Every structure is written in structure tokens, then in C-alpha cells.
Amino acid sequence: MADESPTLDLLERLAAAPDRMTIDALCRQIGLPEPILRGRLALLVARGWVEADAEGSSYAIGVGALRPLGAYLSADRTARLAGPILGRLRDQLGESIRLVRLDGAAIVCLAVRESAHDLGGPVVGRRFPAISAASGRAILAGRDAAELDAILAAGVRAHTADSVVDRAELDAALAECRARGVAYERGEVLPGVGCIAAAVRVDGLPVTDAISCGAPLSRLTHDHAEDIAAGVRRAADELAAAILG
């Protein structure tokens, strides 16, 4: 049986790319000869997982890639339970609210209730560095120290100009999260946007999820940040209770 890992690498590369990728760039990054790569791309295009331009020279992730995402979210009990909770908090705060999950060194958005002035755009399924995101920090603050060490040992790259990469500063941010029950970041994932998050802590289960609230920095006054912090803590506790119930 042929090794399918290059095909999976291909899908992951296209899913992570901010724009279409040329066949030359894909050949270099995937490490397959062009004829083999074109054959795999043709199959993925036929299945709808990948989209090609008219000349077949550049490619992007296709709408078919939403099928496994939709199936995953439909089967995920936590995501289903979170929907009404996220909606109520969005209405209370007037800001976008998200449920995110830790996946390796990244966080993935599972559900969102957007506000009218959301600056992040569609984010369900998108991945961001866990150590830069408030939601990732909220989760990592409750995980084993060895897991954090492994993530940091792999190297921390700045996601934006404001991303914190210094180990001492990151340790201080996690310590603050443990003390206050919420994590903060300002412009470290999306320029001009701040985020406050609380982990969903369910007795007897590892911490994997968090509820976060993102707001334009222009709106993130001290009083509003305090209201958001209290809101995400309540929402995370409500979701944890619903999971146990």
C-alpha cells in the first residue's frame, strides 16, 4: 500500500496556507516529484478536498475538507453543549465568544458566536499557537509542566509583532492565569485584538478546552476587561457543570 503521509501533509499544508500555493512550492515543501504530486492533487480535486485554478498551477483547500470538520463537531458533546452558553455570553458582553481545544502545540476553534464588530473573521477550524493565545495559556496552565516544557523546547516563534516569546514572561503569564483563573493576551494572535480566556475544568478529566472572548483593543478598557474575565469564568464553570450533568 502506498504511503499516505505525503497526502496528509499536502492537505495540512494547504489548510494552513493563508493563500493559494503553487505547484512548485508544494513540490519543495512536500518533497514529492511533480508527476506524483500532480496525481495526488488530481484525486483530491476530484473529491472536492482541494481546489485548483483554471491552469492547474495553484491550489487551495477545498470545501470538501469541511466534511470531517462537520462530522467531528456534530459528534462532539462539549461543542454541542457550549453553543447556548457562548450565545448568552456574547449577548451579555457584546463581544465574540469562542470554544477552543488544545491540539498538540496549537489551539483549534470549535465553535464561535460572533459579535457585530468582530475583527477575527471566520475562525472555526483555524489553528493558532497555544502559547500565544489566551485560551491556549488558560489550558496549558492546568496541564502537566512536562507538556509545556516540550512545547517550549520545540521553539516559540512570534505569531505577531506583539507575541511574547521569552520563557520568563511566558511562565509569569501562566502563573498569573493560575492565580486569577483567566489568561490574557493583547495582539499576540490577531493584531489589534485582545483576548481573555478561562479553561473548562471538569473533575477527573484533563484540561483540554477553554472559553475565550476576543475584543478590539480600542474597546478593551479596564472595566470591560474585568467584566469579560468574570463572564468567561462563569461560562467555563457552566460548561463544566453541563458536561458532568
245 or 195, higher pLDDT: 195
Question: Could you tell me the pLDDT band of residue 122, with boundaries at 50, 70 and 90?
Answer: low
Query: Residues of the chain with pLDDT > 90: what percent?
Result: 38
| Mean pLDDT, residues 160-185 | 88
Can you give the residue ranges of every domain in the chain?
5-66, 76-244
| Mean pLDDT, residues 118-134 | 77
CATH code given to domain 76-244: 3.30.450.40
d(CA 166, CA 164): 6
Evaluate if pTM is beyond 0.85. Answer: no
**Mean pLDDT, the chain, whole residue set:** 87
Which long-range CB contacts under 8 A does 180-185 form with residues at least 24 apart?
A: 180/229, 181/233, 182/134, 182/138, 182/229, 182/232, 182/233, 183/134, 183/135, 183/137, 183/138, 183/141, 183/210, 184/134, 184/225, 185/132, 185/133, 185/134, 185/137
pLDDT of residue 197: 97
For residue 163, how many other CB atoms are within 10 A of its CB? 17
48-101 pLDDT tens trace:
889 999 888 899 988 887 777 777 777 789 999 999 999 999 999 999 999 999
CATH code given to domain 5-66: 1.10.10.10
| Mean pLDDT, residues 201-205 | 92
Question: Could you tell me the pLDDT band of residue 121, with boundaries at 50, 70 and 90?
Answer: low
Residue 82's H or E segment, with its range, is helix 77-93
pLDDT of residue 119: 59
pLDDT of residue 3: 53
| Mean pLDDT, residues 111-130 | 77
129 backbone dihedrals φ, ψ, rounded to 5°? -60, 125
211-236 pLDDT tens trace:
999 999 999 999 999 999 999 999 99
pLDDT of residue 1: 40
